Structure 1
Amino acid sequence: MDDLLLSPTEVAEFLGVTIGTLSVWRCTGRYPLRFVKVGRCVKYRQSDVESFINGRVYDHTL
């Protein structure tokens, strides 16, 4: 398995949002950013973060 697991801190910094924002997204399902839970530990697969970003590319505003 080559998929790197990232911490919420790493993902928040990469996306330019707060850790609290990621928490809200997880709880409400507002955005389709998949995550992994192992016990109480939350991680994000690098490939899921990349897919999330790629899915949010637009040519124009709606």
Structure 2
Amino acid sequence: MPPRYLRTPDASKFVGLSIRTLEKHRIYGTGPRYSKLGGRVVYRVDELQAWVDSAARAHTSDTTARVIPAAARRSPMIPPSPVRREER
């Protein structure tokens, strides 16, 4: 049986993350393995499951599991907003 492929919207539902978060993981290289077919990003179901399983833990202090970092909230290409201080 050939592997089943999911596009980003279905893959995000499969792993329980938003589409944008899954895209950010792809950009930063912290997400599941993917392929590009005809310019479209697809994920193999077994790769998604392996990525989720790699973070499985037995208890809260389990250090043997891989830590999947949270996707960055800001694009590295966008500079942070200037901080304004109120005059006293």
Alignment of 1:7-46 (within 5 A): 7-31=7-31, 33-46=32-45
Q: Secondary structure at the match of 1:37?
A: strand
Query: Please, which runs of 5 or more residues in structure 2 have no aligned partner?
Result: 62-88
- 1:58 Cα deviation from its structure 2 partner: 0.3
What letter matches 1:18 in structure 2?
S
> Any unmatched runs of 5+ in structure 1?
none
> Which secondary structure state, in structure 1, belongs to the residue aligned with residue 11 of structure 2?
helix
RMSD across aligned C-alpha pairs, in angstroms? 1.4
Greater relative contact order structure (CA < 8 Å, 6+ sep): 1
TM-score between both structures, scaled by the size of structure 1: 0.83
Q: Give CA deviations for 1:14-34 in whole Å, capped at 9, x if unaligned.
A: 212111111100000123x10
**Misfit runs of 4+, over 2 Å:** none
Equivalent residue pairs, number: 61
State the identity as a percent.
28
The structure where helix makes up a greater share of residues is 1
